[in-house]
């Protein structure tokens, strides 16, 4: 019989607040974490809004001497992992370390640090580049430093699949436990690239919203007036355990991870196929992996980026997978409040999915004032909804045509 896997701890660092309680309460209240960019002067780019983490104090989460040599995306990962471990009331020891994994997702790594030291090299010479530069910027340091700082010695894996990375990481951690590679995994995603290169690069692709005068209304998934996504930063980490391991130590259980799907579009580097074929196959794969029918799902945490093409294509894909049941689903895009955390998005949205099941509450999609053409499903507009959630799906789709879908369900003995 296949091993069952459960969520026993969660940790968050988001633009809505550092800590699960802050973020979840703000999310359910429909608050936005989006505002003017303060990390650099963005006045000449055309986009000067983002979803920045505002209350993070590195020294509260790690030794200052260690933290100062870590890129911010790594600091966020370490902080969220520490919170998740504390929430799970799980201690890593010499006896269990080899059975604990660190599996994290990241999209762009230390891009801000690359930008900083490129300038140093140009202005002061290459010999002024810090010896910590390479370890700061490589994308696997989220997983690596979580392992080093907390002492995990099981699978140490970093997934870099653009905006699907966090969800792929959680899915791979789920599989690692099912396959017996570890009993426990710290898993999720992190990202911090609110810098000139990233904002300028995405803006040149016409991917970002330019609603600079109304930042809190700029992320509006499925709305007629959506005009692009809002770049975000932060981390979301879960503690996954085999059910046997969790029960043996009397752990609290938020939800059970039931299924995982992954697919490729084989179509375009940035745009999804208009019929959503890759997303359709990915959702169907997750359902099959979970042994579920579409009618078993009550809530979907959508990829929902607030870009003109994504929201229509994702809606089409959901309709193709769910058929008549699509109209009965509660669907929300939490990116309407958090912005789009790129490689970290699947991490925080996996946490949101587990919390939605735990609290039996679907977070809202804010700013959905006038649904766009073809966006005609129930996107839980404006206000969170208390409802029965037996099982939930979380979608993530990334550049390169990479897709990842997770299914969680309410734990039953």
Contacts of 119 (CB under 8 A, 6+ apart): none
> Is 163 an active-site residue?
yes
What is the DSSP track for 106-171?
A: -SS-SHHHHHHHHHHHHHH-GGGS-TTHHHHHSTTHHHHHHHHHHT--S-EEEE--GGGHHHHHHH
The residue annotated as part of the active site, out of 168, 203, 245, 303, is: 303
Which regions of 230-339 does DSSP assign to beta strands (E)?
234-242, 255-264, 299-301, 330-332
303 is a catalytic site residue: yes
Element (H, E) at 334: none
Residues written for the chain: 413
Q: Are 313 and 279 in contact (CB under 8 A)?
A: yes
**In whole angstroms, how far apart are CA 320 and each of 252, 269, 283, 325?**
36, 23, 10, 10
Strands 35-36 and 49-50: antiparallel
- Whole-angstrom distance, CA of residue 369 vs CA of residue 242: 43
Q: Which residues of 16-31 are buried (b: 16+ CB within 10 A; e: fewer)?
A: bbbbbeebbebbbebb
The catalytic residue among 163, 182, 195, 375 is 163
Q: How far, in Å, CA of 380 to CA of 365, rounded? A: 6
Q: Which of 182, 340, 358, 375 is catalytic?
A: 340
Query: Quick check: is 245 catalytic?
Result: no
Cα separation values, 2 from 68, 242, 296, 354, 410, Å? 43, 10, 20, 21, 18
Query: Which residues are the active-site residues?
Result: 163, 303, 340
């Amino acid at each position: 019989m296949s091993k069952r896997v459960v969520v026993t701890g969660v940790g968050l660092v988001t633009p809505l607040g550092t800590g699960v309680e802050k973020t979840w309460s703000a999310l359910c209240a429909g608050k936005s974490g989006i505002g003017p960019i303060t990390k650099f002067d963005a006045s000449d780019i055309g986009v000067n809004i983002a979803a920045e983490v505002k209350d993070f104090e590195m020294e509260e989460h790690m030794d200052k001497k260690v933290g100062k040599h870590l890129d911010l995306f790594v600091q966020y990962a370490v902080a969220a992992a520490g919170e998740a471990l504390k929430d799970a009331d799980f201690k890593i020891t010499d006896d269990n370390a080899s059975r604990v994994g660190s599996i994290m997702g990241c999209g762009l790594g230390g891009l801000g640090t690359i930008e900083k030291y490129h300038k140093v090299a140009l202005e002061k010479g290459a010999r002024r580049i810090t010896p910590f530069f390479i370890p700061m910027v490589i994308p696997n340091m989220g997983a690596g430093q979580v392992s080093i700082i907390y002492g995990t010695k099981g699978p140490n894996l970093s997934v870099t699949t653009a905006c699907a990375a966090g969800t792929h990481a959680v899915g791979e951690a789920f599989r690692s436990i099912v396959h017996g590679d570890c009993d426990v995994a710290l898993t999720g995603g992190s990202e911090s690239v609110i810098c000139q290169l990233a904002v300028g690069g995405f803006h040149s692709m016409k991917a970002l919203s330019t609603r600079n005068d109304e930042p809190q209304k700029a992320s509006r998934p499925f709305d007629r007036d959506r005009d692009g996504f809002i770049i975000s930063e932060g981390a979301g980490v879960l503690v996954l355990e085999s059910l046997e391991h969790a029960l043996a130590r009397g752990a609290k259980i938020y939800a059970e991870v039931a299924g995982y799907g992954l697919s490729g579009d084989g179509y375009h580097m940035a745009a999804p196929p208009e019929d959503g074929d890759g997303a359709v196959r990915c959702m169907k794969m997750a359902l099959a992996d979970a042994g579920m029918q579409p009618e078993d799902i009550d809530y979907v945490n959508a990829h929902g980026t607030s870009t003109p093409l994504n929201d229509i294509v994702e809606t089409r894909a959901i309709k193709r997978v769910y058929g008549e049941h699509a109209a009965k689903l509660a669907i929300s895009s939490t990116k309407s409040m958090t912005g789009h955390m790129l490689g970290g998005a699947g991490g925080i949205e996996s946490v949101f999915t587990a919390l939605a099941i735990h609290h039996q509450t679907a977070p809202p999609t804010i700013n959905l004032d006038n649904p766009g053409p073809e966006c005609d499903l129930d996107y839980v507009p404006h206000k969170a909804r208390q409802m029965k959630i037996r099982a939930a799906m979380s979608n993530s789709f990334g550049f390169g045509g990479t897709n990842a879908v997770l299914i969680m369900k309410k734990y039953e003995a």
